[in-house]
Amino acid sequence: MYKLLLCWRYLRTRWIALASVISVTLGVATMIVVNAVMAGFSHEMQTRIHGILSDLVFESHSLSGFQDPAWHMEEIRRAAGDDVVGMTPTVAVPAMLNYQVRGQWITRQVMLIGIDEATHAGVSDFGRYLQHPANRGQLSFELREGGYDTVDSQAGGEEPTRPALEGAGWPHRRMRVERERLWREKLEADRATDPAGGDRASGGGEPVRSVDRQVDAVLAATDAAAREAAVEPPARPADPFRQARPAEQGTRMDPAKEQFTGAVPGIGLASFRDASGTDRFLVLPGDDVKVTFPTAGTPPKAISDTFTVVDFYESKMSEYDSNFVFVPIATLQKMRGMIDPQSGLASVNSIQIKLRSGADLDVVRDRLRKAFPADLYAVATWKDKQGPLLAAVDMEMAVLNILLFLIIAVAGFGILAIFFMIVVEKTRDIGILKSLGARAAGIAGIFLGYGLFLGLVGAGAGLALGLAIAANINRIRAGVEWCTGQRVFDPSIYYFFKIPTIIDPLTVGWIVAGAVGIAVASSVLPALRAARLQPVEALRHD
Amino acid sequence: MTSATLESPGAVAVPAPPASLLTVRSLRKRYRSGDKVLEVLRGVDFDLAPGEFVSVIGQSGSGKSTLLHLMGLLDGADAGSVHLAGRRIDDLPGRDRDRLRNTDIGMVFQAYHLLPELTALENVLAPLMVRHGLWAWCRERSEARRQATDLLKRFGLGERLHHKPRQLSGGEMQRVAIARALVGGPRLLLADEPTGNLDAESGGGILDVLAALNRSEGLSIVLVTHDASIARRADRIVRLVAGRVETA
Ligand SMILES: Nc1ncnc2c1ncn2[C@@H]1O[C@H](COP(=O)(O)OP(=O)(O)O)[C@@H](O)[C@H]1O
Ligand SMILES: [Mg+2]
């Protein structure tokens, strides 16, 4: 009984011991926050990756792919049994994406993926990542009349962060075609009046012509960015793709009424996020882009074609969002020459497989590996595909945890030192207690109990602090950004608006138990020393 | 245990109550500090009858405290034995020695040795808290408090129950220490120069208290002092000289 009383009385007079509690608290809080954020990132990343990749990917090693996906699907279904709930073929080739911004050709290295618009959304979360509500229901490579989301459908929020998508679709396309036509006319008119070439600067005193007013009227209806683009010197370089597409020379299409083959580029290829969090677009649905990719033959030849952007893909994994361009698989197969002219059978690179929920991916993967020759086909789960990345995250988490746990261990040494001090200081009291009949175990119990108390208080406070920080991390981030004027967390890198956190009760439990354990463990040595004190020595100590 | 053996039907004869409460035989103690060996006690024989008040007198450094610590089981002797009420106590295991210190022996020191963090009342209660576990203490608490309060009142400290030791005078602290020594109901009180740090008046008060306890309750007391005038308050005086006891 005296142990409790003395513990309490010592505590009340030894605030210095509470100092070591603070380091326990900070250690525990940091560990909780870091683990929550890491788990949040890891989870976010896994769902993203899993949303992008199907459960299993069955692919050929060769860029030309394998023939007759229907037969392969039959075989896969036979090998994997009832676990398969959906399959879709894809063709993936490295490619180059080109589009024009203010007269400049911008080139991006991309992965061009031919997908089956009917079935692709069935094997992954592909549909969820599109910007037009109707496409999220069922993807169509036909350009929509409008209605693209101006608010990020995944992040939520009221404020439109993508005002540019307001007029995207056919209206934007018509506007653009009209603008181009007017420019062309103006250019021709300029040439007619001034045969030296459209040097407007020299003719400063010229009266405003009707065509200029017409152009201005059109420009006024478009947004500021578009106007900036439009007032660029109109002398566009000759379209370098014109020669690349001799076949198209003859076919005349009306771009205001017709579109090229639809394409869905990753949003990162077409936009960037400015400091205010608004997405600025270089290309909008309705604009045309050029894509250059290799044919399926050997050796592969580069071919180019024009596609019309019909939507954007945004998985929020910047690695994918700035790399993927989706186009209809049939068109791609035809363009790459992947259709056998004799049999009419098309080739594909891979088959994406969705399994019923609860199926063991690794088991099905191994079954498929057994069923198909490994030198021709590769079968991988989505986790295999991202194995190094996921392993790196786990590794990072482990290392961080070790480092942070060392903070708590340091706090433990603090407790050790302070307790030794108290034992020395209280030597006489320990002797008194022994002379009153206190047992050695009882004396040790005072110090162990004291350590336990410090551990519990420290870990408890750390738990509360850590949970509070984790729960309010985004508000704290905003506060820090406001104070320092520095971006702590750049959403344009991660494509998250918020720092994700996940509190795992088991992890938190281990952290708290570890901290309490360290506090108790570091009071063991002083406690033993106190217990071993000879009462006579202690009483003579003054 | 002892009483059970005594009352068992097999026992032929019930021995007479021991003539001696405390019996010390050929007690030896030497201190080793470096190479030097200091032989403090060289075969001490000492007897204390129940209800007796004995003074042990000797010069400073003669080993009086050492002897008292050995009798109070705070330290171990190099040779010899200590019996309490006929039972050898100096070779008991640590646990039993702890219990004996708590229940049978009360000790008072020159430097009072109160716990500074506890109030006078809590200091007096400390031996009972040490004795009882948490649950037993909850049961015994009010009774123990009453007992401790009574003792303190008896020693004129009724107004000082909740003072910390540093708020008390030397004489008051020593009276708290005596109350603490008595609260467990010991058979033997060992006092090591209890008046050594006190002025004549409060020292006299302490001696009056001890004498009164001896007279009214028959408490057996060993009083250690270097002062002959103080020693005279006892029934009997023994002198500790050159590591041995000689009757004065
Ligand atoms: N732990 C110890 N180590 C060495 N010498 C000691 C120790 N304790 C006591 N002494 C010595 O033993 C002698 C007797 O001490 P003590 O019993 O305190 O004497 P008294 O109480 O009669 O003054 C003294 O000379 C003292 O210095
Ligand atoms: Mg002494």
Q: What pLDDT is stored for residue B9 in this prediction?
A: 46
Q: pLDDT grade, residue A236 (50/70/90)?
A: very low
* Per-residue pLDDT tens over the stretch A453-487: 889 999 999 999 999 999 988 888 888 888 887 77
DSSP letter at A166 equals G
B61 lines ligand 1 (CB under 6 A): yes
In terms of domains, do A374 and A471 share one? no
Question: Which segment of A96-100, A249-253, A483-487, B117-121 scores lowest on mean pLDDT?
Answer: A249-253
Q: What percent of chain B has pLDDT over 90?
A: 75
- C-alpha span between A388 and B168 (Å, rounded): 73
Q: Which amino acid is it at A291?
A: V
Q: Which residue has the higher pLDDT, B104 or A539?
A: B104
Residue that is last in its domain, among A333, A355, A385 = A385
- CA of residue A432 relative to chain centroid, distance: 65
Question: In Å, how far is A424's CA from the nearest CA of chain B?
Answer: 15
In terms of domains, do A531 and A427 share one? yes
In terms of domains, do A76 and A142 share one? yes
Q: What pLDDT is stored for residue A13 in this prediction?
A: 65
- Mean pLDDT over A335-358 rounds to 84
In B170-208, which positions are buried (b, 16+ CB within 10 angstroms) versus exposed (e)? bbbbbbbbbbbbbbbebbbbbbbbbbbbbeeebbebbbe
DSSP letter at B26 equals E
For chain A, how many structural domains are there in total? 2
Place of tokens 């506060």: A479
Question: Which segment of A131-145, A153-167, A202-216, A453-467 scores lowest on mean pLDDT?
Answer: A202-216
In terms of domains, do A496 and A347 share one? no
* Per-residue pLDDT tens over the stretch A73-104: 888 888 877 788 888 888 888 999 999 888 78
Q: pLDDT grade, residue A11 (50/70/90)?
A: low
Task: List % helix, strand, coil for chain B (3-state, nearest 5).
Answer: 40, 25, 35
Report CA Rg, chain A.
34
Where does residue A113 rank: exposed (0-12), middle (13-18), buried (19+ CB within 10 A)? Answer: buried
B51: phi > 0 → left, psi -120 to 50 → alpha, else beta; which? left
Residue that is last in its domain, among A385, A411, A441 = A385
- C-alpha span between B157 and A424 (Å, rounded): 32
Q: What pLDDT is stored for residue A353 in this prediction?
A: 86
A435 contacts in chain B (CB < 8 Å)? 72, 74, 101, 107, 113
Q: Is residue A159 part of a domain?
A: no
Q: Which residue has the higher pLDDT, A19 or B221?
A: B221
* Per-residue pLDDT tens over the stretch A306-346: 999 999 988 877 788 888 999 998 888 888 888 888 887 88
Place of tokens 């406001």: A482
Residue A330: CA atoms inside 13 Å, Cβ hemisphere, count?
Answer: 7
Q: Which residue has the higher pLDDT, A233 or B92?
A: B92
Q: Is residue A66 part of a domain?
A: yes
Residue A447 has pLDDT above 60, yes or no: yes
Q: pLDDT grade, residue A246 (50/70/90)?
A: very low
DSSP letter at A313 equals B
In terms of domains, do A334 and A398 share one? no
Contact A2 B117 (CB under 8 A): no
Q: Is residue A180 part of a domain?
A: no
- Mean pLDDT over A445-451 rounds to 87
Q: What pLDDT is stored for residue B222 in this prediction?
A: 96
Residue from A8, A428, A432 whose CB has the most chain B CBs within 10 Å, to mutate: A432
Contact B102 A436 (CB under 8 A): yes
Domain range holding A376? 54-146+260-385
B111 contacts in chain A (CB < 8 Å)? 542
A437 contacts in chain B (CB < 8 Å)? 98-103, 127, 130-131, 184
Residue A55 has pLDDT above 60, yes or no: yes
Q: Atom 24 of ligand 1 has which residue's CA nearest to it?
A: B61
B38 lines ligand 1 (CB under 6 A): yes
Facing residue for A539 by CB, picked from B95, B98, B113: B113
CB A141 within 8 A of CB A167: no
Q: What pLDDT is stored for residue A493 in this prediction?
A: 58
In terms of domains, do A40 and A97 share one? no
Facing residue for A5 by CB, picked from B103, B114, B129: B129
Residue A41 has pLDDT above 80, yes or no: yes
Tokens of B203: 């020292």
Q: What pLDDT is stored for residue B71 in this prediction?
A: 94
Of B113, B230, B221, the C-alpha closest to B176 is B113
Q: Which residue has the higher pLDDT, A368 or A244?
A: A368
Q: Is residue A181 part of a domain?
A: no
In terms of domains, do A132 and A267 share one? yes
- C-alpha span between A517 and A10 (Å, rounded): 21
Q: pLDDT grade, residue A492 (50/70/90)?
A: low
- C-alpha span between A186 and B145 (Å, rounded): 108
Residue that is last in its domain, among A354, A385, A416 = A385
In terms of domains, do A418 and A529 share one? yes
- Mean pLDDT over B202-207 rounds to 92
In terms of domains, do A522 and A473 share one? yes
DSSP letter at A167 equals G
Of B42, B19, B18, the C-alpha closest to B29 is B42
Distances (CA, A) of A188 to A195, A218, A230, A464: 10, 18, 16, 73
Ligand 1 centre from B210 Cα, in Å?
Answer: 26
Q: What pLDDT is stored for residue B167 in this prediction?
A: 94
Q: Is residue A397 part of a domain?
A: yes
B60 lines ligand 1 (CB under 6 A): yes
Residue A182 has pLDDT above 60, yes or no: yes
Question: In Å, how far is B28's CA from the nearest CA of chain A?
Answer: 16
Q: pLDDT grade, residue A223 (50/70/90)?
A: very low
- Mean pLDDT over B22-50 rounds to 93
In terms of domains, do A400 and A373 share one? no
* Highest-scoring range by mean pLDDT, A113-127, A281-295, A369-383: A281-295
Q: What percent of chain A has pLDDT over 70?
A: 84
Q: Is residue A281 part of a domain?
A: yes
- Mean pLDDT over A431-448 rounds to 89
Q: At residue B43, what are phi and psi to the nearest 5 degrees? A: 95, 70
In terms of domains, do A484 and A379 share one? no
In terms of domains, do A534 and A423 share one? yes
Residue B17 has pLDDT above 80, yes or no: no
Q: pLDDT grade, residue B195 (50/70/90)?
A: very high
Where does residue B22 rank: exposed (0-12), middle (13-18), buried (19+ CB within 10 A)? Answer: buried
Q: Which amino acid is it at B109?
A: F
Where does residue A526 rank: exposed (0-12), middle (13-18), buried (19+ CB within 10 A)? Answer: buried
Please report the atom of ligand 1 found closest to the CA of residue B69. 17
